[in-house]
A = this chain, B = another copy of it.
C-alpha cells in the first residue's frame, strides 16, 4: 500500500508554500500565472487528490448529505434514493445512505441519524419511519432536514410529498364515470401522512361525486402484502355488493391480486381494481393494472435539490411543503360494473 500524496508534497515538488497550492486549487485570490502553472503540473504529476476529511474539518462543512430511508426493498424507495443520489452528485455533494433493516424500524432510524450526525453531514433527506423521532426533531435545529414521501406526527420541517388527495380524486372520478357506486377503499392502518391524505382524498372525491360512502367499504390493515390479502378477503367475505376497489399502496395491491386469484374473483369482470405505483409487475401481469402513478425519482431529486438550497442559503425557518403531482394510468383492471341484481 503506497502512501498518499499530501498538499505538502505538492508544495515541495513545485517549490512553493502550502497555502499557495491551496489557493490555486481552490481558485481563490489571484496568483502569478507562472506559479499556477508550475503547481498544476506538480498536482498532475503526483496525482494529488485533496483529503476531504481534513478539508471538512477545517471548513466546518463536509459536503456530505445523508439519506435515511425506510428500506430499499420497495422499488419505490430505491428509485427515490436514486433521485436523491443523482441530485446530490449533480450539485457537488456526496450521499451517505441509511436504510432501516426492517421496513418500519424506528430504532434503527435513530441509530442511523446519530451516526450520520457524528460525521457532521450538511443535511438530511429522510423518509420517516412510522414512529416520530425526537432526535431528528433536535437535529433539525442544527442542520436542515427535508422529509420526503411522507410525514409522521406533527411535522415542523420541510417536506416533499405526493399530491395524494389529488391523484386519489382522479382514481375515484374514473370509477364513478365508469358507473361504479359501490366503491371500497383498502388502506394502511398506520398513521402516516400518505395513508391519511389518501383516505381523505377518497372521502372528499366520493362526496364531490355525489356517491355516499358505506363505512363497511372502508377497510384498513397493515400496509404489507399480507395486509392487502387479508383486507380483500374480509371485503369479499362480507358479501357486500362491491364493484370496485381502490388500494393505497403497492404492497397491499400485490396482496389483493393474490387474494382475488385465490378466491376466484375476476378482475375487472367481477371487481374493478385501482392500485398505487406504476411498477413493472403491474404492467406485466394480466390484466395490466390501472394505477395511480408516482414519480419517485423526481420526488427524491427535488427533495435533495431543495435540501441543498437550504444548506447553502440563509437559515429560513419557515417550514414549507412541496407537492409533486401524480397521475392516473388507466389500463385493463377497470371497467364498467356488471349489471347485477
Q: Do residues A119 and B53 form an inter-chain contact, with CB atoms below 8 A?
A: yes
Q: With A and B bound together, what is the CA distance between A116 and B56 in angstroms?
A: 14
Q: Mark A62-101, 1 if CB is under 8 A from B, else 0.
A: 1010000001110100110110011001000011111101
Q: With A and B bound together, what is the CA distance between A53 and B94 in angstroms?
A: 15
Which residues of chain B are within 8 angstroms of A142 by Cβ–Cβ distance? 1-2, 4
Complex interface: stretch among A8-16, A158-166, A214-222, A281-289 = A281-289
In A95-121, which residues have CB < 8 Å from any B CB? 95-99, 101, 108, 112, 114-120
In A1-29, which residues have CB < 8 Å from any B CB? 1-2, 4
Asked if A52 is at the interface (CB within 8 A of a chain B CB), the reply is yes
Asked if A257 is at the interface (CB within 8 A of a chain B CB), the reply is yes
Q: Do residues B284 and A141 form an inter-chain contact, with CB atoms below 8 A?
A: no
Number of A positions contacting B (CB below 8 A): 52
Asked if A339 is at the interface (CB within 8 A of a chain B CB), the reply is no
Q: Do residues B86 and A101 form an inter-chain contact, with CB atoms below 8 A?
A: yes
Q: Mark A254-294, 1 if CB is under 8 A from B, else 0.
A: 10010000000000000000000001110011100000000
Asked if A238 is at the interface (CB within 8 A of a chain B CB), the reply is no
**How often does this chain occur in the complex, in copies?**
2
Which residues of chain B are within 8 angstroms of A284 by Cβ–Cβ distance? 254, 257, 281, 284-285
Q: With A and B bound together, what is the CA distance between A11 and B108 in angstroms?
A: 30
Which residue from B49, B82, B114, B115 sits with its C-beta under 8 Å from A114?
B49
Which residue from B50, B120, B141 sits with its C-beta under 8 Å from A51?
B120
Asked if A32 is at the interface (CB within 8 A of a chain B CB), the reply is no
Q: With A and B bound together, what is the CA distance between A97 and B286 in angstroms?
A: 36
Q: With A and B bound together, what is the CA distance between A49 and B50 in angstroms?
A: 26
Asked if A212 is at the interface (CB within 8 A of a chain B CB), the reply is no
Which residues of chain B are within 8 angstroms of A85 by Cβ–Cβ distance? 72, 97-99
Chain B residue, CB-CB nearest to A258? B284
Q: Do residues A53 and B120 form an inter-chain contact, with CB atoms below 8 A?
A: yes
Q: Do residues A81 and B72 form an inter-chain contact, with CB atoms below 8 A?
A: yes
Distance in angstroms from A192 CB to nearest chain B CB is 21
Q: With A and B bound together, what is the CA distance between A94 and B286 in angstroms?
A: 42
Distance in angstroms from A49 CB to nearest chain B CB is 5
Which residue from B53, B78, B257, B285 sits with its C-beta under 8 Å from A78?
B78
Distance in angstroms from A232 CB to nearest chain B CB is 15
Which residues of chain B are within 8 angstroms of A56 by Cβ–Cβ distance? 53
Q: With A and B bound together, what is the CA distance between A97 and B96 in angstroms?
A: 6
Which residues of chain B are within 8 angstroms of A73 by Cβ–Cβ distance? 78-79, 82
Q: Do residues A94 and B79 form an inter-chain contact, with CB atoms below 8 A?
A: no
Complex A-B, nearest 9 residue pairs according to Cβ-Cβ distance, in ascending order: A281-B281, A78-B78, A72-B82, A97-B97, A281-B284, A52-B118, A284-B285, A52-B119, A280-B281
Known: A2-B141, A96-B96, A284-B284. 20 other contacts (CB 8 A): A1-B141, A49-B114, A49-B117, A51-B57, A52-B120, A53-B53, A53-B56, A64-B96, A71-B82, A73-B79, A78-B78, A94-B96, A94-B119, A95-B96, A95-B97, A96-B97, A257-B284, A279-B280, A281-B281, A281-B284
